[in-house]
Amino acid sequence: MVSGIWGKKIGMTQLFSGDKVVPVTAINVGNWIVTGIKTKERDGYNAIQVGCPRKRYLDQKAVVSWMKKPQQYFSVIREIRVADLPENLAIGQRADFNTQLQEGEQVDVFGTSKGKGFAGVVKRWNFNGPPASHGSTMGKTTGSIGFLRSQGKVIKGKRMPGHMGVQRLAVKNLNIVKIAEDAPVVFVKGAIPGHAGSLVFIQRQVK
């Protein structure tokens, strides 16, 4: 059994559960091909290496020659650690990830947050900012960042303007509301980090 599965975020929608509306995020877990197998004897751990073919190769059958030039045929290559390797696993076969999860199961979803570019302290760190009345000209400026005489330097870790976003984030304890039968799509309750099309990892909770 795999510890988790890789997928691509499609976007948010809503599903109906009785008389309630449930906000969900759709994740595409299809189009993955086994590109390599790592064993504990050779590599020190058991893992399945999977890749997502580029758009022009999605409808083609994977062949072993693809593995010699993975950058040409695959847009993404990732690993999934497993306790024991399946017996019928072979390089080149499609990884059927949607059968690895069950509806109602709780999972943790890891993703990369949206990039916000260069941001000031008000947006980045939620500072209040100076008073905006009585002719104030400071606007959203940072203000004082240290002492003048006694210290003469900026303290390490000072919250200042800088690049915001593009961070590895995790949202835990999300329920799998539905697994589509006609498509490799998993619906997870709530929102997950990242923009549409970004790569996410759905991890089983370790109990």
Multiple choice CATH, 4-115+168-204, 3.30.499.10, 3.90.1150.10, 3.40.50.10110, 2.40.30.10: 2.40.30.10
Helix (DSSP H) and strand (DSSP E) numbers for the chain: 3, 11
- 13-26 CB burial, b ≥16 within 10 A, e <16: eeeeeeeeebebbb
- Phi and psi for 161 in degrees, rounded to 5? -60, 150
**In this structure, what token pair is assigned to residue 198?**
């970004």
Q: pLDDT (tens digit, 0 to 9) for every residue of the chain, 207 residues total? A: 678 899 999 999 999 988 899 999 999 998 899 999 999 999 999 999 999 999 898 888 888 788 888 889 999 999 998 888 888 888 888 887 767 888 989 999 999 999 999 999 999 999 988 888 888 888 888 888 887 777 788 889 999 999 999 999 999 999 999 999 888 999 999 999 999 999 999 998 876
SS3 letters across 6-43: EEEEEEEEEEEECCEEEEEEEEECCCCEEEEEECHHHH
Which residue ranges does the chain devote to CATH 2.40.30.10?
A: 4-115+168-204
CB distance 199 to 111 below 8 Å:
yes
Residue type, 61: K
